[in-house]
Amino acid sequence: MNSPFPPRSTETQTASDKALDNTLRYLYTTLRKVGGELVAIEFKYKGTTWRADTAQEAVALRNELEKSDKVFNPEFEAMDQLNDFWTPDRFMDVVGGIGELQQKLLVAVRHKPRITSTELVRELGISSEVALAGVISGLSKQLKQLGIELKHVLVIEVKWSGKTKTRRFILDDFFLYAGAEQNWPDAWGKTKTTKRKRHAVEDSRATTR
């Protein structure tokens, strides 16, 4: 008498897979020996309880569940890539390699998510939203030199109310998480800025000699 449970590749089986397969085989064999019929089988897969009327259905259902888990999901794939992209070194390259105004912009957005463009103009101490656009353009160019797109650091939301446009700024979630791991900007934001200023003073002295 052949079991309805086909052998599974030992290379792909986990401990829980083996336990479930062995349990189902044992249940099926025992019931057949005593002349019983298998009315329903329940098993859990990733926290969800599933029911099948026969052993064959149970195996088929589990196989389908496993196949669905292996289906390529572009959204999850993109999220994994971004998570892997923001290494500590890359994050520090960004914050240490952009201009002082661009640093201040990111810090302001970090301290006040969804800050408006009007508020940012005031925080940065610049003259207008036209000047703010220049700061953002500079940030985009500086990031491009590092092989990074602006949208992977700074997200700009634009909403219209009648003829009034409001722009709000937030940091990308993955960039924000990478910063939190480095305790940015609290731990070393000021240090980086001071260092840049010191180099600027030294460069100017060297130029005038």
Residue 120 · residue 132 · CB < 8 Å: yes
The segment with the largest mean pLDDT, out of 72-81, 147-156, 172-181, is 147-156
Which residues make up the CATH 1.10.10.10 domain(s) of the chain?
Answer: 76-208
6 vs 138 pLDDT, higher one: 138
The fraction of the chain above a pLDDT of 70, given in percent, is: 54
Across the range 161-184, mean pLDDT stands at 92
Confidence of residue 194 (pLDDT cuts 50, 70, 90): very low
Question: What is the pLDDT confidence band of residue 151, given thresholds at 50, 70 and 90?
Answer: very high
Instruction: Give ∠ CA 146-150-155 in degrees, rounded to 5.
Output: 150
Residue 103, Cα to own-chain centre: how many angstroms? 22
Predicted local distance difference test score (pLDDT) of residue 66: 66
DSSP state of 41: E
Is the previous residue joined to 185 through a cis bond, with omega within 30 degrees of 0?
Answer: yes
The CATH class given to the 76-208 domain equals mainly alpha
Is the model's pLDDT at 28 over the cut of 90? no
* 43 against 166, higher pLDDT: 166
Q: Which two tokens stand for residue 9?
A: 């590749």
- pLDDT band with cut points at 50, 70 and 90 for residue 207: very low
Answer for the pair 12, 39: CB distance below 8 angstroms, yes or no: no
Q: pLDDT at residue 200 above 80?
A: no
The chain-wide mean pLDDT, for the chain, equals 75
The residues pairing with 48 across neighbouring beta strands, listed in sequence order, are 45
**How does pLDDT run across 69-100, given as a tens digit for each residue?**
655 556 556 666 767 888 999 999 999 999 99
